[in-house]
A and B are shown apart, each in its own frame.
Chain A
Amino acid sequence: MSDSKGFLHWLFFKKWHPVPSVGSTIALFSIIGVIFVALGIVITVINNNIQEVTIYKYDQKCSPVEYNKRCSFTQNLDNMKAPIYFYYELENFYQNHRRYVKSKSSTQLSGEEISLSDAEKYCDPIIYNKDLEEWQQNVYITEKNTLVPKERQPDDIASPCGLVAKSFFNDTYALSLSGKNIELNQTGISWPNDKGKKYKRATDSESTQWIDPENEHFIVWMRTAGLPTFRKLWGRIEQDIEEGEYTFEFSNNYNPQMFAGAKNIVLSTSGPFGGKNLFLSIAFIVVGVIQLLIALAFLIKKIRAGPSFGQKNE
């Protein structure tokens, strides 16, 4: 198209009027089918290599069941390859409730001070220190998740304020095999960029904030879950573990009965596609197979009906 008029004409009027044929349909289905089945098989193989252990309602394993106390139980574990991820799982906890999701101030969390009106606007109904849980009112939780007692004015704006922060999950865990402590790495458990960017310590964090926003457990908690049953990463075991009876020691602070739910512990290894996911592998295989069958059906029909199939107007 040398001249500009020609080009414009070509741009406007060059057209494709695809009329799909049976042949192309068959080809499309076979290709997609094969890819899907292949992907499904790969995912299944990977899934089979992933180990996952869930310890249900671990708080019930202490006797008597008491809260705000340290407690321990034992659990048999198989051999697992590092890295092993240590999750806590809450059931029936609506972290995606509208009232809950919006009750936080991202300005405040990024380390800036907010006015009272902003606090009222974003954090309602948890605005002042006095609105917080009792244990949160006179304390400073450091980045390393240790509690330092600290006097606070009940009428100061809570920092961080809001429901999400207030309901911070504060169980802590330790794992040991026959007295030998197994280290749980609690760093690098939050989403990349969250720490230091989305959540930043205020300049005088210790005197104004009840928790350091760069505390990774806090950051993990603040990334609200999509469903009422959710897992959150608590730590990482960076060594292979052997078969044996492990002791789980934990501070039983969070009471799931208060929201008619449960709290569980999940230990899982991960593959290149993330955690164990049966649905994904099944879905890929099923969809792939169906598509191959459809392709086959069309093929058979095409062969049986002769060349005129799909082209009625010969």
Chain B
Amino acid sequence: MFWSKRPDVLNQPRSFEGNFRSERTLEELEQFPSNFIKTSRQEIILELCRYNLVTFLPKSLLLQFTRYANIYFLCIAIIQCIPVLSTLNPFSAIAPLVFVLGLSMGREGWEDYGRHVSDNEVNATECVIMKSRVMTTSTWAQLAVGDFVLVKQDESFPADLIVLGSSIESGACYIETSSLDGEKNLKPKSAILESQQLYRDMSNFTEEKVKVEAQVPTQNLYELDASLFLSVGNGQQKKFQLTAKQLLLRGAFLRNTEWVIGLVVYTGQDTKIMRNADASRIKTSEIERIMNILILGILVVQISLSIITASFSSAWLHKYGSDSWYLGYGDFQPNLLSSLCIFQLHFIIQYYDPNLIDSQSGICKGVLSMYVQQRDKFAKVQTTTINEELGQIEYIFSDKTGTLTCNQMEFKYCIIGNTLYGQEQQHTNIPVQNVDLKRQQTAKVHPATDVFQHSVFNFQDLELSAILKGEGSSGEQPVNLIVQSLDGKQQVKISKQRNLIEEYFFLLSSAHECIVQYDKNQNANYQGPSPDEITLVDAAARMGFQFTGASASEQKFIILGKDKKVKLLKSFEFDSTRKRMSVIIDDNGVIKLFIKGADNIIKGRLSPNQIFLNQIINYLDDFSKIGLRCLLMAIRVLSNDEYREFDNAYNNLPDNDTRAEELEKLTNNLEQNLTLLGASAVEDKLQPLVPETIADLLKANIKVWMLTGDKLETAENIAKSCRLIQGDFTVMRLSELSVDDCKRKIGDIQETYDHCIKENRKKSFVVEGQSLQFVIDNEELAQAFVSMAKDCESVVCCRVTPKQKADVVRLIKDRLNKITLAIGDGANDVNMIQAAHIGVGLYGNEGMRAVQSSDFALGEFRCLWRLLLVHGHWNYIRIAEMVLYFFYKNMIFTVPQFFFSYFCAFSGQSFFDDWYITFYNLIFTALPLIMRGTFDQDINYRQHIQFDEKEEVASVQRKFEEYLKVKFPSLYFVGQSKSIFTIPNYTLWAFNGLVHGMIIFFFILWILDYEIVEDNGFPGGLAAFSLTVYSSIILIADLKIAIHTKYWTWFNFICITFLSVLLYIIYVIISQFWPGTLMEYTPFTMVGTPHFWLSIILIGGIIGGMEAIIAQLQREFFTDPAIEMLYKVNDFGQNQLKLIELKEKNQRQFQDSFWEPLYKQQQLQQQNEEHAE
């Protein structure tokens, strides 16, 4: 949104010169957007800081009137200000408007302020700029196009830079762009050679001009269209074309490179990261939308009622107007104008924003318990307007990496030869750390690398370590594996298991693309393109096969304490099509090809007669079932001739476009006739309690979709390990490369699907990115897909781009009209988070973008359990019932007003005093409602603040808390089926309000009538009548909410008694002395009359009784599952307690009796037995 306001000047190709002194005039500054970034939604705060109230107020006011209700209010207020039409004091119409607007402006301002603060944090981050060859500290916000910036290792880039020089001689540098695209691997970038030569050495810096011409900034991360002009002596400049290879992106981190010098090219809004940011949208909830419609409905009803009463009024005037001399119409001539003038508003339903009531605290209360240790972060509620939708979720879209998994790999098992190692390890538990409970809010702009490890090592195998130490006999088992080159000239003989193991680990430590890094304590730390690889290298190192570094032609190791060097001849990278990685090394004259890769790839390349194959395949089947990632390791020995031949071919590869293709062919031929050595199984570690949480979510009938950029196999593995796909699921896969294939496949899947439906089997849908794109683009396919996917227990989408993630969410959201939730931790999830009804961001390792754009920020995936199943459930009930009650209380307030109009010749006389009307919704009935909306719970799985001191009792209590916890997901349907805020329910409550309102009005009418209200003979009058009715209404409104409060805290008591009733009483006292009002000098006398109290008692008795009967009948004929559960638990608990009491009683009896010694003896015996066990 903010760039829609972009001045045209900025949308032109730019040309600028490197600003060596970092000094510039104001004009130059205005040429490009500032690097000062603001994400705060409405700029209100900034506005407030920068300008003044004059500009701030209209802006935020305008925003407020995007709500129907507020427009409605404004209209009413305007009408009320026209004296002819108004029945009321204009103040009483304006006051609630001002109050509501003020509150929601305040709230939105506050939310925005939070964003503003975090923006400020970013903007104030320090960076180093080179100012005339001197390093000067500056802040991100102060950077401007043309500055020279020095970025050190592990710092993030403050703006989009063109790399000019790097600490690495070749000009290369590595960046990690996880905050932009979610990918964790390092991306190589490099300075062009000429600039590297210039800027490599700081003393070489010259003041000579550097000029850059660049195109308008785009959103594409991998695109840069710019040219660099460097001076080549004698005032001449040479032009160099720049590509994305030279572009360092704001928000990315510099890795494995000591420092780089960059020239700022795009700042602030122009940076790729900001251009990729979707403007945050204001989310409104379903209930709010319905309420808006209802408000419109009410408006229509009001207007028609007003017209009806106006016409009645004019009819009355026709008939009696000229007779009723006391009305002073004089010679009354009824005409259209007069009836228009009598068009008065009778209905004064004062809606006010339920969101205001919809308390943040309801969720915040749970926040404490959702504190998650690992991330040191509390859950945070960033959007308060959609709380109730948490209880209505039907689809969850989850990112994989960082959300379901920790993005940490664990080396679980290895199979070497025929033997499986690693069975002894314990199930890994995350060590409970002592965490500082203080809230830490600072965003980490530079996450330190040593905080997060890609790999976890818990591998233990005594036998293996014994063998490696040279102990034990199992290492001596004969293997007799002979690996020969094809021409037979070279061979390697592996005779014993020990040799095989050594060869295996040597392979692991050699065949990879990792870089070794040393931290301050000289601990080796591996960095590499994929976490799997790092894990394997790390595992090998920990087993004693430490990789210590590599250069272009050599690899260094410390193998079991001894240094070793091998010549690295060739290395072929891993990529998604090859699915394998290989190196060729010269190991003391023996040329070996080490290869590791996916099982299906390697299997097809083995030479025949593999002695370990069957055993390994057996193990692998088991592993893949539990979701482990498996790789096969194989070896090939090349004779010198063979290698020479290959080397020749390699060197003669054409240096053109076909090179890659040719190389592919060449390596393909080489990587054949392999000999299998073993396999490894790596676990992608799940976040704690993920499978349990998912199981409960599925139980709550929430469909969970996993969206990941991973490969199909990996994705499926993870889905299995987090129980998204369970053993009895039918898995349907869609992974086709063309639209037609896709259509055909969908047809096949449809059959399988129908079959599953018939047999009532659970099913899961796995779809790959490319096919997904067809589905999204093709209407026909989309319908077929959605119709199937919507009922699948789980759906896995793999290889999806951030945009596709959002598209998938929209697919479901728009077509099915169901409430969706997206959860993710990375910048690549931002689109999805904003597309879904509810976006949840996790405090991840990938920066704060997800959190910043989310509605709820959590520490871990498992917090969803509490957020949805507990707080979501409660919030839906709270808000839905609150809205219903809200309409009810306005109904009972309006109905007497309406019927009164019959008794006042439809003249539009307001029944109540002006300020009484204003305060009704604003004060007297507000707080009990807010408290109920904040605290009410149908059932809590935590029944006890503290467990009982007695262990026996406590164990019972614990048991039924467990029971409730298990049962809790089954309550979630309440919100999903939208079973509370329905039109019938709404009608019922409105009808209820109508009946109650009528009872109040007519009963009091008949009681007071023209009767004498006091023993000293005073008749009542309008004021007395109105006061009695009003008091009854307050009583009934409070009574009703008390009856419907299921969960009482002190706050409910206080609000109903003190803040509603007591405030009302105080106001009544005030109104006694309020000059000029209808009520003046009425209340004190009225309160002394028996009729007042008798009326209230009668009304209370009737309506209270009716409510009690209805409640009782409801309990008889409709069962509320929550109440039922509560009953069960209470019964169970009571029975257990009785049992315990009985036991104790028996014990006491025993103690005093003859049998005591016997009993004690028996007890002792029992204890001994237990000990023995």
On A, residues with C-beta under 8 Å from B are 9-20, 22, 25, 28-29, 32, 35-36, 39, 43, 83, 85, 87, 89, 93-101, 103, 106-107, 110, 125-126, 163, 166-167, 188-194, 197-198, 223-233, 236, 258-260, 268, 270-277, 279-280, 283-284, 287, 290-291, 294, 298, 310-314
Contact = CB atoms under 8 A, between A and B. Distances in A.
A284 B1075 contact: no
B907 A312 contact: no
Question: Which of B939, B1021, B1090, B1104 lies at the interface centre, i.e. has the most chain A CB atoms within 10 A of its CB?
Answer: B1021
A83 B1012 CA distance: 13
A107 B1124 contact: no
Interface string B1030-1070: 00000000000000001111110000000000000000000
Contact of B1098 (A22, A189, A228, A283): A283
A97 B909 contact: yes
A233 B1131 contact: no
A139 B1003 CA distance: 44
Contact of B945 (A10, A225, A232, A259): A10
B284 to A, nearest CB: 30
B1165 to A, nearest CB: 38
Question: Which of A9, A106, A279 lies at the interface centre, i.e. has the most chain B CB atoms within 10 A of its CB?
Answer: A279
A200 B344 CA distance: 34
B945 A13 contact: yes
Nearest to A273: B1090
Nearest to A312: B1119
Contacts of B1130: 19
A284 B1007 CA distance: 11
Contacts of A35: 1101
Interface string B1121-1160: 0011011101100000000000000000000000000000
23 contacts: A10-B945, A20-B1112, A96-B907, A97-B324, A100-B327, A106-B1076, A125-B328, A163-B328, A166-B326, A224-B1022, A226-B1022, A228-B905, A270-B1016, A272-B1015, A272-B1090, A273-B1015, A274-B1012, A274-B1014, A275-B1017, A277-B1009, A280-B1098, A287-B1105, A313-B1131
Contacts of B1003: 283
Contact of B1010 (A13, A101, A227): A227
Given A18-B1048, A96-B1022, A192 B1012 contact: no
Question: Which of A224, A227, A271, A279 lies at the interface centre, i.e. has the most chain B CB atoms within 10 A of its CB?
Answer: A227
Contact of A287 (B903, B1017, B1102, B1124): B1102
Contact of B1124 (A16, A96, A106, A313): A313
A39 B323 contact: no
A103 B1010 CA distance: 23
Contact of A100 (B326, B1020, B1025): B326
B1104 A106 contact: no
A291 B1101 contact: yes
Interface string B433-476: 00000000000000000000000000000000000000000000
B380 to A, nearest CB: 20
A233 B1003 CA distance: 23
A290 B1014 CA distance: 29
Question: Which of A16, A18, A224, A310 lies at the interface centre, i.e. has the most chain B CB atoms within 10 A of its CB?
Answer: A16
Contact of B903 (A28, A93, A96, A283): A96
Contact of A29 (B1091, B1105, B1115): B1105
B1094 A227 contact: no
Given A12-B365, A191-B1018, A226-B903, A98 B330 contact: no
Contact of A94 (B907, B1012, B1084): B907
Contacts of A28: 1108
B1050 A14 contact: yes
Contacts of A224: 1021-1023
A287 B1098 contact: yes
B418 interface: no
Contacts of A11: 1049-1051
Question: Which of B1007, B1102, B1112 lies at the interface centre, i.e. has the most chain A CB atoms within 10 A of its CB?
Answer: B1112
B1046 to A, nearest CB: 7
Given A93-B326, A294-B1105, A229 B1112 contact: no
A116 to B, nearest CB: 17
Nearest to B1006: A279
B1026 interface: yes
Contacts, number: 238
B903 A270 contact: no
Contact of B1085 (A101, A192, A270): A192
Contacts of B1017: 83, 85, 189, 233, 236, 268, 270, 275
Nearest to A233: B1017
Interface of B: 87, 320, 323-328, 330, 344, 365, 903-905, 907-910, 935, 937, 939-940, 945, 1003, 1005-1026, 1046-1051, 1075-1076, 1080-1082, 1084-1085, 1089-1091, 1094, 1097-1098, 1101-1102, 1104-1105, 1108-1109, 1111-1112, 1115-1116, 1119, 1123-1124, 1126-1128, 1130-1131
Nearest to B944: A13
Given A230-B1019, A272-B1090, A13 B1049 contact: yes
B1127 A273 contact: no
A54 to B, nearest CB: 11
A273 B1098 contact: no
Contacts of A97: 324, 327, 904-905, 907, 909
Contact of A274 (B904, B1013, B1126): B1013
B1010 A225 contact: yes
A110 to B, nearest CB: 7
B287 to A, nearest CB: 25
A106 B903 contact: no
A223 B324 contact: no
A167 B326 contact: yes
Contact of B1075 (A85, A110, A193): A110
Given A98-B909, A277-B1009, 5 more contacts: A14-B1049, A18-B1048, A126-B328, A224-B1021, A228-B905
Contact of B326 (A163, A223, A230, A313): A163
Question: Which of A98, A110, A233, A311 lies at the interface centre, i.e. has the most chain B CB atoms within 10 A of its CB?
Answer: A98
A25 B1114 CA distance: 13
Nearest to A87: B1019
B1007 A277 contact: yes
A236 B1017 CA distance: 9
Question: Which of B1084, B1101, B1128 lies at the interface centre, i.e. has the most chain A CB atoms within 10 A of its CB?
Answer: B1101
Question: Which of A10, A13, A290 lies at the interface centre, i.e. has the most chain B CB atoms within 10 A of its CB?
Answer: A13
Contacts of B1050: 11, 14
A40 to B, nearest CB: 10
